[in-house]
């Protein structure tokens, strides 16, 4: 338990507030724009392809959760039949990532959900979330959950709430800055000061 007040963050680290959200019954589909997009399940994805898309989407927000694990561990995770990886495609180009994790019985974690910068603000997020919710609840679950943090897109938390998720817990995460330890280029996420 943290005491009231400020707490120092070591140089070379980031700190964020993580909000956990859940959905205990399937939310209604939100009205979406008519977009010529395709959602494609990628069974047993190639880790290099996955990491390229992961970086393309997540680098502006310092996503590091898949960058700091060993290649064999990542391959094993991605090839698990209970981990469903989907690519959002716009005219044949991968522009979004949807990763649904069903490894906990009766639950689905929205492990990763994101769009490339050029797709943000065009209605693709709502389009993708409608499909994520339908895919998750099609698997006979009783709980769909996700977490986001203050390093993510500023609209992410409210987007999840509008999509039908309810916040239920907050945590503070302190982690090595992925730019300092070489997982991401040093010029990523300029809105987050790099303090060494």
Residue 166: its pLDDT value, please? 98
**Residue 194 domain-assigned (yes or no):** no
Which helix H or strand E contains 144, and what residues bound it?
strand 143-149
**Residue 182 domain-assigned (yes or no):** no
Residue 2: its pLDDT value, please? 83
Contact, 57 vs 115, CB < 8 A? yes
CATH number at residue 144: 3.40.630.30
The total domain count for the chain is: 1
Token pair in block for residue 146: 């996700």
Full pLDDT tens readout for the chain, 196 residues: 889 999 999 999 999 999 999 999 999 988 988 899 999 999 999 999 999 999 999 999 999 999 999 999 999 999 999 999 999 999 999 999 999 999 999 999 999 999 999 999 889 999 999 999 999 999 999 999 999 999 999 999 999 999 999 999 999 999 999 999 999 999 999 999 999 9
- Domain of 53, in residue numbers: 14-176
Contact, 180 vs 194, CB < 8 A? yes
**Residue 9 domain-assigned (yes or no):** no
Cα–Cα nearest to 148, from 83, 65, 69 = 65
**Residue 184 domain-assigned (yes or no):** no
Token pair in block for residue 167: 């916040």
**Residue 7 domain-assigned (yes or no):** no
Q: Which residues contact 74 (CB under 8 A, 6 or more apart)?
A: 47, 50, 51, 66
Cut 0.85: pTM above it: yes
Q: How far apart are CA 131 and CA 97, in angstroms?
A: 12
Residue 151: its pLDDT value, please? 96
């Amino acid at each position: 338990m943290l005491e009231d007040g400020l707490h120092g963050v070591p140089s070379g680290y980031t700190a964020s507030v993580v909000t956990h959200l859940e959905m205990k019954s399937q939310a209604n589909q939100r009205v979406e724009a008519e977009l010529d997009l395709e959602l494609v399940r990628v069974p047993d994805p190639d880790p290099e392809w996955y990491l390229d898309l992961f970086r393309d989407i997540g680098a502006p927000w310092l996503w590091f959760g898949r960058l700091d694990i060993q290649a064999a561990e990542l391959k094993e995770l991605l090839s698990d039949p209970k981990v469903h990886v989907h690519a959002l495609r716009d005219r044949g180009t991968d522009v979004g990532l949807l990763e649904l994790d069903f490894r906990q019985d009766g639950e689905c974690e929205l492990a990763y959900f994101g769009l490339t910068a050029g797709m943000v603000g065009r209605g693709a997020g709502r389009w993708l979330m409608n499909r994520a919710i339908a895919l998750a609840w099609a698997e006979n679950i009783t709980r769909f959950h996700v977490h986001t943090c203050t390093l993510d897109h500023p609209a992410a938390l409210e987007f999840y709430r509008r999509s039908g998720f309810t916040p239920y817990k907050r945590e503070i995460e302190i982690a090595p800055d992925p730019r300092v330890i070489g997982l991401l280029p040093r010029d990523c996420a300029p809105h987050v000061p790099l303090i060494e």
